[in-house]
Structure 1
Amino acid sequence: MGDFTPSSDGIVVVDKPAGMTSHTVVARVRRLAGTRKVGHAGTLDPMATGVLVAGLNRATRLLGHLQLADKSYDATIRLGAVTTTDDAEGSVVSTAPVDGVTVEAIRTAAAAYRGEISQIPSAVSAIKVDGKRAYERVRAGEEVELKARTVTVSRYDILEVRVGDTWIDIDVSVDCSSGTYIRALARDLGADLGVGGHLTALRRTRVGSFDLKAAHTLEELAEDFVWLPIADVAASTFPRYDVDVEQATAIRTGRPLPGLNLAPGQTAMFDPTGTFLALYEPHGPVAKPTAVFVG
């Protein structure tokens, strides 16, 4: 892992606590790392906990190239009430008796949301509408109608169903593509069952190849700042190609490299000292840079 300094380039996987925005988590990481150059991939709502991937210094630019589209969540859906935000943070706007809802009906309804689906995001999402966040428009009292988008839910498992007097809680585990709103899954499941639904708990367990095993709480990071150097992340994510000194000089200025037999997609280029230089991809007989990480 190497010794960390404020100028180190790398990835930090945070186990985000409940009640804190992703922006605040990044601010904490910024202070712990001693650098202003910190970015993150995949915002989590304040209520949610779990995996938040942060990039340090030059690795902030690597975040956009990592395969972070696929995510996994553990969540609890409460049937019997609709809220303004589709989760427990909002006010209840309607309730319905749940005594007619069976476990079989829940499983059948959930099955309809597996695979490629059309989903209308929650109105209080961070999606921009005419340059302004949807949730900001809702807070300002505006009516917001977002367009449906196509997302993929590759797993939607019903783990446990708990029945109360006026509610039913469902623990679910979901694998999905980027852009999927678990709050919207809760809302739509409740609507299909005719009783309404909202999310009461959400924990992200995986983003791409980064899971909870790699994640650390802010308290743990304050004690021991665990990070992944950019070279290690690149080597474990992309095919690796080791270049000679002359090629490394060309890469540092972003020049194309003729005659390289690179695999389709992006390849991580390393110099003879093991320094990660850039991501290149094949373009016919030459390889061209998609991102250069050294000057």
Structure 2
Amino acid sequence: MPESSAAPNGILLVDKPGGVTSHDVVARARRALNTRKIGHAGTLDPMATGLLILGVGPATRLLTFIVGLDKTYEATIRLGVSTDSDDADGDVTGRADAAALAAVTDARIADGVAALTGEIEQIPSTVSAIKVDGRRAYDLARAGEEVRLKARAVTVSRFDIVARRPAPGETAPDGAIDLDVVVDCSSGTYIRALARDLGAALGVGGHLTALRRTRIGPFEVADAVTEITPDAPLARPAEVAAAVLGAFSVTADEARDLRHGKRLAGAAARLATPTAAAIDPDGALVGIVERRGDDVKSAMNMSEGAS
């Protein structure tokens, strides 16, 4: 696909619909924006909706600083039914009986949620993109191979129950419970695994029936587009980098030195954080800089005219 000299460059916030993959969204963006150079900062499962951040053109280099940001999700957890994928796309592996579900009080749910809040060790869902000996866990699971994933440390800073209601539908056993929840968490946290583990702790099983990502770091789904068009609004790299890392203002001479690989001697005292976005007097992103002793050096430069 040919690209013009004025190829698009920036960050695009997309509100992903359900039923499509993150790769599908990238493919749509490539067609609409007429460029191959597009990536994303963290996938969403096909059933999930919400915020997907795309990097377009040179701004794809900023995705590495976005992917690890904390996130907010709105989700629905169904207690009383387990699936092999820990979400509604999987096959049912267990159903609780009415007596077990009747014993699930609000107090027990609150205790289970409290145990899954804070810094926890979480075993990711078997059907996940984590690699095991070079192969994706979901590929191994679908091939019928045993998958054993290691627990990893994650932080769940908020796990709020917004509503509790009877689970609808003929597939839900008598007494099955739907919980609407809001979760703030560190990157790498699986909301499906929270549903699974809450259900297990209550002795009735659980899985996710709905998931929506509403925030990644400072970026909100309310600011995202629902359709990707050729004139889709791209956030400038300088604005995005400053929002994520904080701004480090440099003079025109300092900008030139950084672009040429030179250190800014004695400038570390001006850095509020170990890593920051260097912004020149014209408001352009010079690159990402970091502290090295008393000096500041460039960790990643943006080419002039692409920032």
8 Å contact 1:6–1:33 — kept in the other structure?
Answer: no
Distance 1:53 1:180 in 2: 17
8 Å contact 2:75–2:181 — kept in the other structure?
Answer: yes
Q: Which amino acid aligns with 1:270?
A: I
8 Å contact 1:30–1:38 — kept in the other structure?
Answer: yes
Q: Which residue of 2 aligns with 1:147?
A: 150
Q: Which residue of 2 aligns with 1:258?
A: 265
SS in 2 for 1:143: coil
Q: Which moved more, 1:260-269 or 1:204-213?
A: 260-269
Q: How does 1:178-217 map to 2 (within 5 A)?
A: 178-217=187-226
Q: Which residue of 1 aligns with 2:45?
A: 45
Q: Which amino acid aligns with 1:234?
A: A
Identity fraction in percent: 54
Paired residues, what number? 290
> How far is the alpha carbon of 1:281 from its aligned partner?
1.6
Distance 2:152 2:281 in 1: 46
1:106 matched to 2:127? The reply is: no
Q: Which amino acid aligns with 2:43?
A: T
Per-residue CA deviation, residues 95-151 of structure 1 (Å, 9 max, x unaligned), is 112222222211111111110001110000100000000000001110101011111
Distance 2:118 2:110 in 1: 15
1:29 matched to 2:29? The reply is: yes
Distance 1:223 1:160 in 2: 40
> How far is the alpha carbon of 1:273 from its aligned partner?
3.0
Distance 1:188 1:169 in 2: 15
Per-residue CA deviation, residues 200-226 of structure 1 (Å, 9 max, x unaligned), is 000001111111121111x2x327512
Distance 2:39 2:88 in 1: 28
TM-score, L = length of structure 2: 0.89
Q: Which amino acid aligns with 1:178?
A: S
Q: Which moved more, 1:241-250 or 1:100-109?
A: 241-250
Distance 1:240 1:178 in 2: 23
Q: Which residue of 2 aligns with 1:137?
A: 140
Q: Which amino acid aligns with 2:38?
A: V
Distance 1:100 1:243 in 2: 62
8 Å contact 1:6–1:35 — kept in the other structure?
Answer: no
Distance 1:241 1:204 in 2: 30
Q: Which amino acid aligns with 1:174?
A: V
Q: Which moved more, 1:254-263 or 1:197-206?
A: 254-263
Per-residue CA deviation, residues 242-287 of structure 1 (Å, 9 max, x unaligned), is 4333322222222222132331312222333332111112212321
Q: How does 1:241-280 map to 2 (within 5 A)?
A: 241-260=248-267, 261-263=269-271, 264-280=273-289
Match for 2:128 among 108, 125, 148?
Answer: 125
Per-residue CA deviation, residues 132-174 of structure 1 (Å, 9 max, x unaligned), is 0000000111010101111100000011111243411111110
TM-score, L = length of structure 1: 0.93
SS in 1 for 2:270: coil
SS in 2 for 1:258: coil
> How far is the alpha carbon of 1:14 from its aligned partner?
0.6
8 Å contact 1:67–1:208 — kept in the other structure?
Answer: no
Q: Which residue of 2 aligns with 1:283?
A: 292
Distance 2:41 2:252 in 1: 34
Structure 2 runs not aligned, ≥5 long: 168-173
Q: Which residue of 1 aligns with 2:170?
A: none
> How far is the alpha carbon of 1:66 from its aligned partner?
3.6
Distance 1:38 1:188 in 2: 35
Q: Which residue of 2 aligns with 1:55?
A: 55
8 Å contact 1:262–1:282 — kept in the other structure?
Answer: no
